[in-house]
Amino acid sequence: MTIVISNIKTTPVLVPFRRPPVTASGAIGELPLVLLDVETDVGLTGHAYLFVFLKSMLKPTMDCVAALAELVRGMNADPDQVDPLLRRQLRLLDIHGILGQVLAGLDMALWDIRAKSEDLPLAKVLGDPRDYVKTYNSCGLWLEKGDPEKLADQAHELLAEGDFSAVKLRLGYETFKEDLAVVRAVKRSCGDTVDLMSDFNQGLDQKEALLRCQALDGEGLYWIEEPVRYDDYHGSSALAAAVDTPIQTGENLLNPLEFQKALKAKAADYYMLDVQRIAGVSGWRAAVTLPEAESIPVSTHLFPEISIHLMATTNNAHWLEYVDWASPIIREPTVALGGKVQVPTTVGNGIEWNTEAVARYQVE
């Protein structure tokens, strides 16, 4: 049966954080999302959301969706057809910015439609899924001036929220002394049975990164994430070779080709991909099946609702990043129990809107 795209609706929302993010890249007070509803001629609707970082980017993103809707209206809703066709039509434009992320959102929604048309969870459409994926809590431990023991206490709160055994700590304070104090306070509080990931959010130059990362060797960190610019593949590679603690990167890679470049440069020991940046479900599938990626542990960045389906069918799946940011507007949000997330058995990609909450957080 051919399913045809009939319309794309957008809804802008600002969702409050329980713990607003503060990283070396800046602070985000509220979560600005553009909700996508891709409607079809058979009554099936595919859902996805786009994280646009700034409230001021809601309207430009929605305008881009509206322009794209003019192109896809009347098209077959098959993501295997739509994504390559649009990328050919739009190849003279820069698809590394808003347009690329809108294309990714469309792709996510189209895979939701496919799963619904087959009456299956997305993971079942993508392959033979495992039942659970291990996850770490990334909902806190932001940069916070003051007493490191406050972050140590917060780490316990995060661990208890889903019986987690792993959490992520943000680094990149003004001095390394502050970084080290926070690492030691949290590590001492949590003990050796807890995996402690760390993230510099691209906050260091090459020289400072080498000094800090080498000094953190021996502190028991599970990984050190993005110490330098995400696209400094060779600089990151030099760090990975010089530092014993595994280097993690990848959340800002904009398509499978960029992922391949990073892999060939040996930019990191571990990689994490963001489904919105890596070109949607289709881009994720292309990325993780690259020959260079076969033996490299791959984790996810944000979007746990869809990412759980991707991780469930990825051979070299490593960690699912758990965030509850969009949970208030989702009817059945992703839940972590025992440090794992169960792969959904409901039809589709797991995103159905909590319409009352959406109305509450909708903005003009």
> Looking at residue 91, what is its pLDDT?
87
Give the least confident one: 105-114, 141-150, 219-228, 239-248: 141-150
Instruction: Give me the pLDDT at residue 254, please.
Output: 93
pLDDT at 331: 98
Percent of the chain with pLDDT over 90: 95
The predicted pLDDT at position 131 comes to 97
Q: What is the mean pLDDT of residues 300-325?
A: 98
Q: Model confidence over 276-304: pLDDT tens digits?
A: 999 999 999 999 999 889 889 999 999 99
Residues 6 or more apart whose CB falls under 8 angstroms from that of 242 comprise 210, 213, 214
Please give the DSSP secondary-structure letter assigned to residue 291.
G
107 within 8 A of 79, measured Cβ to Cβ: yes
Q: What pLDDT score does 347 carry?
A: 98
According to the model, what pLDDT value does residue 1 have?
A: 79
pLDDT reading at 188 higher than 90? yes
| 220 to 117, 140, 291: CA distances (angstroms) | 47, 19, 31
pTM over 0.85: yes
Measured between alpha carbons, how far is 38 from 45 in angstroms, rounded to an integer? 5
One-letter identity of residue 251: E
**Structure confidence at residue 337 as a pLDDT band (50, 70, 90):** very high
User: Any alpha helices (H) in the chain, and if so which ranges?
Assistant: 58-72, 79-89, 98-117, 122-126, 148-161, 176-190, 206-216, 233-242, 256-264, 280-288, 304-312, 355-361
**In the structure encoding, which two tokens stand for residue 218, read together?**
């021996």
pLDDT of res. 75: 97
Say whether pLDDT at 113 is over 90.
yes
Which pLDDT band holds residue 348 (cuts at 50, 70, 90)?
very high
Q: Which domains does the chain have, with CATH numbers?
A: 5-120+355-361 (3.30.390.10), 124-342 (3.20.20.120)
Other beta carbons within 10 Å of 87: 15
Note the pLDDT of residue 96: 83
- Of 38-47, 93-102, 187-196, which gets the smallest average pLDDT? 93-102
Question: Which residues contact residue 191 at a Cβ distance below 8 angstroms, ignoring those fewer than 6 apart?
Answer: none
Asked whether residue 110 carries a pLDDT value surpassing 90, the answer given is yes
Provide the mean pLDDT of the chain.
97
| pLDDT tens digits, one per residue of 146-159 | 899 999 999 999 99
Q: What percent of the chain has pLDDT over 70?
A: 100
* For range 339-345, the mean pLDDT: 97
Q: List Cα–Cα distances, 295 to 124, 183, 194, 289, 314, in angstroms.
A: 23, 30, 25, 10, 11
Closest CA to 259 of 275, 278, 241: 278
The pLDDT of residue 95 is above 90: no
Looking at residues 200-213, what average pLDDT do you find? Answer: 98
- State the DSSP code for 214: H
What's the first-to-final CA gap in the chain, in angstroms? 38
Q: What is the pLDDT of residue 94?
A: 80
Does 364 have pLDDT greater than 90? Answer: no
For the cut 90, the answer to whether the pLDDT of residue 132 exceeds it is: yes
Sequence-ordered list of residues with C-beta below 8 angstroms from that of 224, at least 6 positions apart, any chain: 198, 199, 200, 213, 216, 243, 245, 246, 247, 248
pLDDT at 345 (0 to 100): 96
